[in-house]
Structures are given as structure tokens and as C-alpha cells.
Structure 1
Amino acid sequence: MRVLVTGACGFVMSVFIRRFLQEHEEARVLALDVGEPDTAWSGHLADVAGRVDVERCDVRDRDRLATLFARHRPETVVHGATVTLVPEWEREDPGRFLDVNVMGTAAVLDAARRAGSVGRVVHVSSAAVYGAGDPGRTEPQDEDTPLEPDDMYGVSKVAAELVARRFAALYGMSVPIVRFTKVFGPMERPTSARTLMSLPYHLARALVAGTPLAVTPRTLRAAGDWISAVDVAAALGLLCTRPDVGSVAFNLAGGAAVPVPRLAELFGVEMVADPERAVADMDPALRSGKDGIYDVGRAARLLGWRPRDLAQQVGEYREWALAHWTPETLADPGGAT
């Protein structure tokens, strides 16, 4: 199987590539990214590097996409390229989200349908499509929850989903959509498209450094529906290989609200309320929409996928962090990758 992955040097896509190639010895991946792979990415994929072809490509460049699709003849595409939410970016250049996340998606889908070799495009969306949601809602949200984005990133993701659905209808393409949020795990690191790190990332750093983690006081009253990138990668692999998954959306999440103190306990890290030194801030009032709990029943029914126990997910990430980071590399701004 030949799989083309956009945004390949990013956090979740790098975890997916390694897992997919480890599980499918006959597979080969064409990794597209707008930038050069960093040393962390190259090291992460060292054991499967012989089956990874790396090409620089801006997903908005239709001519470049056409050339690469024709040369490599992929059978499946996982479209993960995106510009993620940074509030400053939204204010400074809101059009960037639409340009990359919407027009880039259209360009990838058009290249896929013209290639003649692609049978499926897995479109990576986001729980940002749900926006703030209904503040009074307490039950898990399924994929039919109204899409009411409240930032330009979410707006761009809703628009990209609509583009994906239209391509599926127009050309008979299989374009399943995945929505996830609060993802953590190996290979999370600052990049040109991602600058806001997850709470588990900060907890992992504190674990390696052997120091408490300073957060805002209200963060200690917050909760979240966290999911490991390894579990997300497993679902993406199923979407690449399972027949007849259609072009529907899938929530990928833990399916339960986990209080922040419990998350810290799983990491074995002490948290201290210190607004002056806080590296993380979560609002405990945000418990719905993109910050809510997700119903993952559709993925269970159609893919046979369920998230592992959170303790197992965190334990795996702890082991990875301790194996790849040291207090010395954490002290170097460019070292903890």
C-alpha cells in the first residue's frame, strides 16, 4: 500500500507514519511537508526510514501536488496539513487559516481525484468545529452535534469538512473525516504550525525535570477529554485499511472527563497554583463544545476502535519522555524535541 501523508512532520502525523509502517510491512509512505524534517522527526522514524519518501510541498501548490501524485501514485491519502490555533495569528492574519486549511484541502482533494490511483482520502479535522457548544450539556457529544465554531481555526475546519464532503459527493470518493482535540504523546513539540503545547506535554517535561508544574489556580478545578496520539494513529490506520467506511465523521477521544489533578497523578507530577509562573491555564467552566466530552461510539461500531485506558496512555508517554528527554535537554530551548 502506498500512502501519501500531508503535514507529515507534524505531531500526530509523525506518530501515525511510524505506527502504520510498523504494522504494515508492505506499505510505503510519501511524507509531504512545507518544511524540512527536524532531527526529532528523523530520529523517530529511523527504524522505518527505508520506506519513507520525503518531499517538501506546500499543499496550496497545485502544480507541485500534481507532479508528486503522478510520480508516486498513492492509493490512500491522509491529509493532516493544517495551521493550528494561535490567538495572535488569528488577529494578525485570519486569512492564513482559510488559505491553508480550506484552499489547501481543496487542492489536495483535487490532486487525489485527478491522480486516478487514490481510493480514499482521510481528512483530519478538529473538535474546534463544535465551538463553545451548549454550556448546559453534560452528556458526551456525538458527531451530529451542531457545528458552531467560535474562532477562525474552527471556521476553517468546518469549511474544509464541507469541501471534503462535496468532493466525496461529486466524484464518488471515500473521504472519512476525523475530529480530535486535547491530543498528547510522543513527538509533541513546537513547530512553525504549532506553538501551543498541551497540558500533558508540560506534565511530561516536569516529570523529566523532577520539578512541580506551576499552573493557574483555576486549572486545578478543570477537566478534559484527553487522548494519546498513539491511539489516534491506530484509528487513522483503520481508516486507511477498513473497507466501506464511507465519508462520515468520527470523533476520536477518550470519551470521559478527567480532572486535571487526576491527570497530574497519573504522570506522578505535583502541581502548584502559581499564577506568576504558570505554564498552563484551563477554564473549569469550559465543559462543552470543543472542550467537552466526546462520544466515540461511531468509531467503535464502524472501525472496531476504542481508546485504551488513560493510565496506559499516560504510562506509555511517561516512558517515552524519560527515554528521550533529560533535564539538560529541557534546559536547552531547542533540546527537548
Structure 2
Amino acid sequence: MTVLLTGATGFVGLNIARALLDRGERVVLFAPTPPPEALSAGWLGAARFISGDVRVPDDLDRAFAAAAIDRVIHAAALTPDMRAEAEQPEVIAEVNLGGTLRLMQAARRAGVRRVLGLSSVAVYGHAAAEADGRLHEESTPTRPAALYGITKLAAEQAVHRLGALYGMETAAVRLGPCFGAREHPTGMRPLLSPHWQCVEDARAGRECVLPRAMAADWIDAEAAAGAIADLLALPAPERATFNLGGGALTTAAAWCEALVALCPGFRWRIDPEAATVRYGLERDRAPMDTTRLRAATGRAPLTDDLPGLARRYLDWRNGPEGIALCGA
């Protein structure tokens, strides 16, 4: 049987595709635009690509007809900045929520047995951490502070509700802020990770100026994709929702320090008035608790080696795949 992956040519989608293919899964990639030719000619060539829009039922039906699909990972979403949120709220809602509703209906028509929907840490908004300093799936209130979090929470709930009505197994993953290999400008995310922005400054020989240190439970995208593939393969509690973050707080400042040792001449500082790096988060956020993920899969990613991750990221960014996705 085959896995359908929506949002397959975006940052997280490409990493999930790689994780699934590495596990020997058959994969149908679904996205509005095809992956770069350099990837399709390499490891991604083992997957089949179907062009389409999650808002269009005929496109979805065509994707489900491409193979005997029994499982879906729904990663398609728009991640707006404040300007896009203000100017195109209806488009964001149509993709993030409307696309999810249409995806679930198409999955029902195709007889799919399991759907894993990608949600986001943004559903917690500015909720306070609990006594252990973390955000928990069941007990921490969901208080999304922006349209992205609002639509992701609604989509997460819709996956579970429609799954119950349609007799499907469902799971939702509240994904933390990601960085790492295969992040590239796609137009779907106006604001890329500070890690990506810092590396672009380093590669261009520019001084990198941060607005603040910026703490969050950043997670390496390859590790996150591996955990998502693990969840798809294992029996999960009925209608379960899982936190998936880096397990601990790290900062953009610490990332810059890791780059200093790897990029001769790289300079960085913190100055809110002269920042070259933009953040998507207005304030720092507590880490998510990943106990449920660890119980289900036997492991949970831990972002605890920024120097090692920086070295691996630079190897990717300076290699053929990184250049193909991000430019020379």
C-alpha cells in the first residue's frame, strides 16, 4: 500500500518524504508545484508526484486514484506572517481548514484507513507553561494568538471529528518550530527560520544581527520527519494528539555561536534596532512535553547538539541539494 503526502514539496514535506522512502514506503507526493529537478533525479525519484491544490476536490481525487493509498500524512498549509494574515485571511483559512475538510472527504471516498494531520505548537499561542515548565497535550489550554494557530487548531479538531464519522484512524502532531536541511523559499512561508537566515548571512559574509536571543524548542526537521514516520507506522491511541518539539529550549544566539566555529570571519550580535533576522514569534515560548510521543514510539527527538547540527546543516547547504534548493 501507499502513503499520500500533501504539502510534499515544502520544507517539512520534503523531509517527511525522505523519511518515508528511507523506510521503504511507497509514496505519492501531492503539492501545487513539483519538486526541484535535482531532487527528482535523485532520491525523490522513487516517489510519484501529482500536482494539485488541497482546496480542489477533483485534484484530490486524482491524487488518491494514482495508487492504492491507505494512509495519508496531511502537511499542506500556509504559514503566514502578519502582513499575509492581514491581507489574505480568507486564503489562509481556505487552505489550512478548508483544504483539510476536503482532504478528509476525498480520503473517505478513497477508503483510506488512517490520516495523520500536521498541526502546530502555534495552537498553544501564549498559554502559560505548567508546573514542570512545559506545554502538555491534554491539560495546557489551547489559546492560539494568530490566524495560523487558529486555523491549525480547527483543522486538527476537524481531522479527529471527521475521522470518527468516517471510521478512520486519526492522529495529529503538534509540530514545534523547525530548522535544518531542505528548508528553502517556496512562497508558502514568507518568513524562514532564523537558523536559515543566520546561515545566509554567514555565507554572504554579512554581519548577522538578532533582535533577541530567541528561545524555543527548536527541532531539526530531519529528526521531526523521522518521528512523524514512526507515528504513521505504529498503532496509536484513538484520536491521539502528539507534541513534537526539540525537547528543550535552544536559542538563535546559541546557533550563531555554533556557526562562529564553522564559518571563518562570521560575526553576529544582538540589536533590536538594527536586526537583519526576523522572527515569527513575538515572544519566547515554553517547550512542549513529549512524553506521549516517547511512550508511543520509544523515542523522542532531542535538540541538544547545536554544533553537530550546524555542521551537518552547512554540509547540506553547501552541497548539491542545498544549492539546488536555495541557490549558489
> Which one-letter code corresponds to 2:268 in the other structure?
M
Identify if the C-alpha distance between structure 1 residues 158 and 53 changes in structure 2 by more than 3 Å, giving closer, same or farther: same
Identify if the C-alpha distance between structure 1 residues 135 and 143 changes in structure 2 by more than 3 Å, giving closer, same or farther: closer
Distance in 2 of aligned mates of 1:285 and 1:149: 13
Aligned residue in 2 for 1:33: 31
Identify if the C-alpha distance between structure 1 residues 137 and 131 changes in structure 2 by more than 3 Å, giving closer, same or farther: farther
Residues 1:279 and 2:276 aligned together: yes
Deviation sequence 1:249-305 (CA, Å, 0-9, x none): 111111211243322222335322355652224599823xxx221111111111123
SS at match of 1:71: coil
Residues 1:321 and 2:312 aligned together: no
Number of residue pairs matched? 320
Q: Where do 1:1-337 residues align within 5 Å?
A: 1-24=1-24, 27-37=25-35, 39=36, 42-116=37-111, 118-134=112-128, 139-144=133-138, 145-216=140-211, 219-220=212-213, 222-268=214-260, 269-275=266-272, 277-281=274-278, 286-287=283-284, 291-308=285-302, 309-311=304-306, 312-324=308-320, 336=327
Deviation sequence 1:101-141 (CA, Å, 0-9, x none): 1110011111112212x221110111111111128977011
Q: Is the contact made by 1:224 and 1:259 (CA closer than 8 Å) also made in structure 2? A: yes
Identify if the C-alpha distance between structure 1 residues 135 and 283 changes in structure 2 by more than 3 Å, giving closer, same or farther: farther
> Which one-letter code corresponds to 2:136 in the other structure?
D
Distance in 1 of aligned mates of 2:191 and 2:150: 19
Q: Is the contact made by 2:194 and 2:279 (CA closer than 8 Å) also made in structure 1? A: no
> Which one-letter code corresponds to 2:301 in the other structure?
P
Distance in 2 of aligned mates of 1:195 and 1:120: 31
Distance in 2 of aligned mates of 1:310 and 1:45: 31
Give the drift of 1:181: 2.6
Q: Percent identity?
A: 32
> Which one-letter code corresponds to 1:23 in the other structure?
R
Q: Is the contact made by 2:122 and 2:144 (CA closer than 8 Å) also made in structure 1? A: yes
> Which one-letter code corresponds to 1:176 in the other structure?
A
Distance in 2 of aligned mates of 1:282 and 1:96: 22
Q: Is the contact made by 1:121 and 1:176 (CA closer than 8 Å) also made in structure 2? A: yes
Distance in 2 of aligned mates of 1:284 and 1:16: 24
Identify if the C-alpha distance between structure 1 residues 69 and 266 changes in structure 2 by more than 3 Å, giving closer, same or farther: same
> Which one-letter code corresponds to 1:171 in the other structure?
Y
Identify if the C-alpha distance between structure 1 residues 335 and 163 changes in structure 2 by more than 3 Å, giving closer, same or farther: closer
Identify if the C-alpha distance between structure 1 residues 136 and 77 changes in structure 2 by more than 3 Å, giving closer, same or farther: closer
SS at match of 2:100: helix
Distance in 2 of aligned mates of 1:170 and 1:184: 36
Q: Is the contact made by 2:217 and 2:286 (CA closer than 8 Å) also made in structure 1? A: yes
Deviation sequence 1:205-231 (CA, Å, 0-9, x none): 234334431223xx13x3221101101
- The normalised TM-score by structure 1 is 0.86
Identify if the C-alpha distance between structure 1 residues 317 and 335 changes in structure 2 by more than 3 Å, giving closer, same or farther: closer
> Which one-letter code corresponds to 1:234 in the other structure?
G
Distance in 1 of aligned mates of 2:118 and 2:85: 20
Q: Is the contact made by 1:208 and 1:322 (CA closer than 8 Å) also made in structure 2? A: no
Structure 1 regions of 5+ residues with no counterpart? Answer: none
C-alpha RMSD of the superposition = 2.6
Question: Is the deviation greater in 245-254 or in 309-318?
Answer: 309-318
SS at match of 2:73: strand
- The normalised TM-score by structure 2 is 0.88
SS at match of 2:3: strand
Structure 2 regions of 5+ residues with no counterpart? Answer: 261-265
